[in-house]
Structure 1
Amino acid sequence: MALSPQLILHVLLVALLGLQSTVRADNFTPSSAAYYPNSKENGTGDGACGYRSFGATLNGGDVSAASVLYRNGVGCGACYQVKCTNANYCSDNGVTIVITDSGASGNTDFILSQRAFAEMGQTADAGASLLALGVVGIEFRRTSCSYPNKNISFKIDESSNYPHYLAFLILYQQGDQDINAVQLCETENLTCKLLDRSHGAVWTVVSPPSGPLSIRMLVGGGNGGDESWVVPLNNIPQDWQPGSTYDSGVQLN
């Protein structure tokens, strides 16, 4: 028996909608999450990414340690949408967190700040119930970081010793791509050298050149896309100081 064109169209439409639903579901990876038991609300101030006390306040305190997703420091600063799966307590959207540390608890992929863990709940009471559970099933996916009214910035690590040793972190990078390499360029003769990733998100150089310094970042990977060099508009000044933060003048979409 031949199928009518209307019936064929209906079957194709149902199949297409089912495929779209499958694709949306597959964007999330099932896992489990715990939280920092020794933190009052925010994350640790001494994480493996090297953010120090700043790491507990990044993204309003919605931060997390990660195990596999830490990726030897490449994952530092990456954002993920994390939502728990207990229908009695969990909201549909969950919470967006930033990776600031490395760590695991059992088979979990995330150790969230208490603040972020509770924010997966539908209400404040539901969040408290989640905290009482300690470990919950979750789904997660990579998502874009957003820092309104901020440019990418360079924070000089307190261990730096002007002018003999320079260590810095790259903060407030929007989007869903990774920083895969960093160059330090002299602004006077335009020579550049690749820097070493000391640990986590910390980039270092011994005996940095004199004069203003230009930091260039190779951005790519993440959720796909080609790599490209991002060149800041502003330089790190010649008399940079440990603990200071310098605005690059640029931001990613």
Structure 2
Amino acid sequence: MRALNQLFRFGWEQAMSCLFPVVIFASLAITQLIPLPILPRYDWLLIICLLMQWVMVRSGLETRDELKVITLFHLIGLALELFKVNMGSWSYPDEGYSKVFGVPLYSGFMYASVASYLCQAWRRLKVELFKWPPFWVVVSLASAIYLNFFTHHYWVDIRWWLSALVVIVFWRAWVIYEVGGERYRMPLALSFVLIGFFIWIAENIATFFGAWEYPNQTDAWSLVHLGKVSSWLLLVIVSFLIVATLKQVKGKKPITTNTVEYLTKSDP
């Protein structure tokens, strides 16, 4: 019963951390099933995302520092969207006044929602890191992963080399979190894989409701290729590294070895 209670608490904190993504998915579903008047669908989605962001900050669910992080992710996501859409990787076929070079501005919020989840979960679960790599290693790796999303269209795709490098760099790194006053730990690389997999599931839901469209989904919806998990995995890593680095800059230091030794003895 204690384990089930802790699992429920963990699920509740995760659910509260996903408020922004849930609103986006709900908006995608509602605007797909019930066309809204006056404005095209993409413009309504942008308005809903802007309102949700305002509510999150106004209500205190997000801090101003977290808003800065989310804004950064919005810009990073838009830059990636502009490039990928114009390379034909996917498309936004519907009309919209808020489309720029074929990309609706609401799409940046889908990347921002990942950052929102990470920031919320970090604070709610009191996340700390153990054996975090040096700053220059983290920045270099995150930059290389992000650039590969662009350069692989013109040069060799090195995502698998980068994935192997991630395993090497973070082999000894742990993420430590708190649920109901109890501390738990997980290999950092495993957390990357889990978040990436669940985002792939979310991507299937999003494409089903017409958030965007892959070339093989033009005539009818089909499951997103499982290989996309690797892309989301790398994007999650970039997101996590940026958030973690900003937390380090704000003065949040990794915990000590003694804490991990204690956890090893007390983990259920």
**Normalising by structure 1, what TM-score?**
0.25
| Highest RCO, 1 vs 2 (Cα 8 Å, sep ≥ 6) | 2
Q: Name whichever structure is richer in helix by fraction.
A: 2
Q: Name whichever structure is richer in strand by fraction.
A: 1
Q: Higher Cα Rg: structure 1 or 2?
A: 1
**Normalising by structure 2, what TM-score?**
0.24
